[in-house]
Structure 1
Amino acid sequence: MSADPITPVLTKRWLSPQSWRLATYEKLEGYTAFRKALAGTPEQLVQLVKDAGLRGRGGAGFPAGVKWSFMPKDESKPHYLVINADEGEPGTCKDIPLMMADPHSLIEGCIIASYAMRAHRCFIYVRGEALHCIRRLNAAVREAYDAGYLGKNILGSGFDLDITVHAGAGAYICGEETALLDSLEGRRGQPRLKPPFPAAAGLYAAPTTVNNVETIASVPYIVNGGADWFRQMGTEKSPGPKIYSISGHVERPGQYEAPLGTTLRELLELCGGMKDGIPLKFWTPGGSSTPLFTAEHLDVPLDFEGAAEAGSMLGTTAVQVFNETVSVPWAVMKWTKFYEHESCGKCTPCREGTYWLAQILERMVEGRGTEEDIDTLLDVCDNILGRAFCALGDGAVSPITSGIKYFRDEFLALCDKNRASSPELVGAS
């Protein structure tokens, strides 16, 4: 695979004048896929998405078609589709630009997905701070209602669908699907115990599917192009295009659409290389909750398997790039303070653990650390990993354990600095 810019799929309308308007969307193949979808059966659509191999773009990479198939066939209870547009992960910035530039692709995807899962209500949960995005989505939903694409008996198909855009309560934890459902119901955003899983008892204790914005926005293209076309992009196990959000020390940060499996070396070519030519030191493949990579990982294929085999996760493909001027312990401390602040406090390992991790890292960065602090950090991480209620705890330890793994010397240097400035310690050595 070369680093030549590929023909865009998800971002193809982004640069069109007034790309967010219904008129522009319809000129560029908009609202053709859902007509095709409504002519088929829900089962055919679920099978198509399974065949295409579309995987969740919110970070977990779970096969979307399989998730859809978990929804019960009977309609004794209402079915809900919930779109997770909370996007609170540090470094993640793909869903908001997608909804700003091309909101109708999400709405059309919602119609198709709702039809496939026999849902007649869809909620788009957008993080509350993204006011401009909420307004634009609301305007697009109004346009879709006016055109007869939403509401009762859509285009005479007998299918009804209502979409509600909901402004979230502004907390990172609400990006966790069950905490999002609690927040949507008007309660405090905290993760629920699973099982029951949302497909059995989600929103209002009814069958619910929660999908990411980019996942659902990919669906109209699959319906129009077919499973084989979709599989021509990306890798065998991670097919399709992906929006990579590149931030940090690069010449042209921004959103770059490329096939799954593209490497950082290729992405750096697309965005003009490292800023001011200062070499790469470390980077995250999928936001701050994914373990760090170093310059040695430039050629790791950025798909779900490639990132995992190299010891990290693809996450949300929020590629944060740091050059040699950045202190790893300082960056890790900044991220840890974020997790400490955003922990919902429901479970002890995460609530207490993130507090102590932040305390220790702050002390180390100030030059008052000891070698024992490194062991303490790893010990606390060990007590959080896999023991917290949701993945926030696991995400919080990722930068610390990977930072120490690759840059232990930098953490030790902070201790040495402490030793050199303390006469009693110098005498002891």
Structure 2
Amino acid sequence: MSVDTLTPILTDNWDVPEAWKIATYEAQGGYQAARKALGMTQADLITLVKDSGLRGRGGAGFPTGVKWSFIPQDNPNPKYLVINCDESEPGTCKDMPMLMATPHTLVEGAIIASYAVNAHHAFIYVRGEVLHVIRRLQKAVADAYAAGYLGKGVFGTDYDLDIVVHAGAGAYICGEETALLDSLEGRRGQPRLRPPFPAVAGLYASPTVVNNAESIASVPAIVRNGADWYKSMGTERSAGATIYSLSGHVKRPGQYEAPLGTTFRTLLDLAGGVRDGHQLKFFTPGGSSTPIFTPAQLDTALDYEGVSAAGSILGTKALQIFDETVSVVRATLRWVEFYKHESCGKCTPCREGSWWLVQTLRNLEAGKGHEGDVDKLLDVCDNVSMKSFCTLADGFVANVTSSVKFFRDEFEAGYHTPAWELFPYEKSVYFPGRERITVSEGAGQ
């Protein structure tokens, strides 16, 4: 397959000069879908999104229209839409460039989604470190207010909507929807025990829809072009196109929007393949919290069903590519160190399990492991898996167990040989000339 594989929908106007401005967006048909949606009944709008087959793009893959239909309209409390832009998964980089390039796509999607669930307040929760994205999104919301697309009487109708852009404080755990809601309410971001689910008692104990930014941004194109058009892309159970993030040892890392079900081989070809003189060793199909794949899975269809059948999770479609110079032990350790640091500490399996995994992996990386340490890793994983409040623990368990499954010999080599002797780390550095920077050199720059 060739570049024709790409289906630019969300990414279609990323290269347009000043694409983030409201005038540019409207010149390309922006906000016409929102006007059309507000002329429909809310039930018809939800049915349209259901019929399109749009599934949540945050990792869970739950049907978006079905999620909207769960909101109990007989509940007297206000209804809320919360958009999760707390993109923090290592390797994932789809929402931030989208918000930077065309923030009005998300704003228009938020108008449509809010109207569909009868919400008059929407919140866009953005990761706090990406200040440039927050400012651009705030400007887009302000421009939409000035144009009469938000506030009282949206598009001259009797529908009112306010949107708040909320900056988080940089906690990965707030990507979990209930932890995000706690953070929005001003509390420490920690997962809630469910039930009740957000659709019944979410933000401020009121019915709430929580959707990923890419999910909401996909809605205007569906309203504009119809459910059949959207279903014509992708597969029967995984409809539409999505943004795949490719990073690591590839010639052209970046975002590639293609139909769900596109194979990894095709995406790798589009990205120019693995860097010259090297071979693919392993990759993540959906971010660092998903079981890794090897070259044996090159032709796996990257949709929800295909990746699941092959033994992993599509997740956020973050494809981190590693060549033969990389130590699997080191890569796994770095991932688990991240999750240990980001664990909220609320539940014992995650808090303690991540700590013990890091200690054991550090010993193996340094060649100071002991006979049986690899089995100890798997035993800790078994005691953590499916026993925590949220899926953060399941994420670091997934990359440990899958790494041991495919490369057990590398882990067992840690009983006697440091990983940096087997895989000198300067060889895996992507940019030549930056292999060795001492602490003193780095401090002086």
Normalising by the residue count of structure 2, what TM-score does the alignment of the two structures yield? 0.93
Q: Verify the 8 A CA contact 1:3 1:266 in the aligned structure 2.
A: no
Q: Counterpart of 1:424?
A: none
Quick one: distance in 1 between partners of 2:202 and 2:191? 12
Q: Is the counterpart of residue 193 in structure 1 residue 188 in structure 2? A: no
In structure 2, what is the equivalent of residue 109 of structure 1? 109
Aligned to 2:301: 301
Structure 2 equivalent of residue 140 of structure 1: 140
- Give the CA deviation at 1:6: 2.8
Match of 2:82 in 1: 82
Residues 198-237 of structure 1: matches in 2 within 5 Å? 198-237=198-237
What is the identity, as a one-letter code, of the residue corresponding to 2:264?
Answer: L
Q: 5+ residue gaps in structure 1?
A: 419-429
Q: What letter is aligned with 1:180?
A: L
Show the counterpart of 1:353: 353
Q: Give 1:390 deviation, angstroms.
A: 0.4
Distance 1:371 1:238 in 2: 44
The one-letter amino acid of 1:266's match is T
**Residue 267 (structure 1) aligns with:** 267
- 3-state secondary structure, aligned to 1:159: coil
Q: Which residue of 2 aligns with 1:66?
A: 66
Aligned CA RMSD, in angstroms, stands at 1.2
Moved over 3 A (4+): none
Deviations 1:35-68 (A, max 9, x none): 1100001100110011001000000000001100
1:5 deviates by 3.8
User: Secondary structure at the residue paired with 1:265?
Assistant: helix
2:339 matched residue in structure 1: 339
In the TM superposition, residue 2 of structure 1 has moved relative to its aligned partner by: 5.7
Is this contact kept in 1: 2:332–2:400, CA < 8 A? yes
Does residue 152 (structure 1) correspond to residue 152 (structure 2)? The answer is yes
Task: Give the aligned partner of residue 414 of structure 1.
Answer: 414
- CA positional deviation for 1:75: 5.4
Any idea what SS the aligned residue of 2:257 has? strand
8 Å contact 2:114–2:120 — kept in the other structure?
Answer: yes
The CA distance in 1 between the partners of 2:292 and 2:195, in whole Å, is: 31
- State the alpha-carbon separation in 2 of the partners of residues 6 and 123 from structure 1: 31
Q: What one-letter code is carried by the residue in structure 2 that aligns with 1:63? A: P
Mapped contact 1:3–1:267 kept (Cα < 8 A): no
Q: For residue 402 of structure 2, what is the amino acid of its counterpart? A: S
Contact 1:246 1:318 in 2 (8 A): yes
CA contact (8 A) 2:242 2:257 kept: yes
Structure 2 residue identity aligned to 1:33: A
- Which residue does 1:324 correspond to in 2? 324
SS in 2 for 1:98: helix
Where do 5+ consecutive residues of structure 2 fail to align? 419-445
* TM-score of the aligned structures, taking structure 1 as reference length: 0.96
Shift of 1:29: 1.3
Alignment correspondent of 1:255: 255
Contact 2:7–2:241 (Cα < 8 Å) also in 1: no
Q: Is this contact kept in 2: 1:10–1:241, CA < 8 A?
A: no
Q: Tell me the alpha carbon deviations over residues 199-250 of structure 1, each in whole angstroms, 9 at most, x when there is no partner.
A: 0000000000100000000000000110100011111100001000000000
In the alignment, residue 178 of structure 1 is paired with which amino acid? T
Matched residue type, 2:281: K
Deviation, 1:156, is 1.9
Give the counterpart letter for 2:268 in structure 1: L
SS at 1:274 equivalent: coil
Task: Provide the secondary structure at the position in 2 that maps to 1:54.
Answer: coil
Cα distance in 2, alignment partners of residues 315 and 287 from structure 1: 7
Q: In the aligned structure 2, how far is the partner of 1:347 from the partner of 1:109?
A: 36
Same amino acid, percent of matched pairs: 66
Structure 2 CA distance, aligned partners of 1:223 and 1:370?
59
Deviation of 1:313 after TM superposition, in Å, equals 0.2
SS in 2 for 1:78: coil
How does 1:8-87 map onto structure 2 within 5 Å?
Answer: 8-74=8-74, 76-87=76-87
Question: Which residue does the alignment assign to 2:433?
Answer: none
Distance in 2, matches of 1:201 and 1:7, equals 38
Shift of 1:7: 3.8
Partner of 1:391: 391
| CA-CA distance at 1:415 after TM superposition | 1.7
2: CA distance between counterparts of 1:29 and 1:211?
A: 24
Q: Shift of residue 74 of structure 1?
A: 2.6
**Structure 2 SS opposite 1:242:** strand
After superposition, the C-alpha distances for 1:134-186 in whole angstroms (9 at most, x for unaligned) are 00000000110011000011122111000000000210000000000000000
- Partner of 1:293, secondary structure, is coil
SS of the residue corresponding to residue 83 of structure 1 reads: strand
Residue 163 of structure 1 corresponds to which residue in structure 2?
163
| Distance in 2, Cα, partners of 1:247 & 1:146 | 39
* C-alpha distance in structure 2 between counterparts of 1:409 and 1:3, whole Å: 38
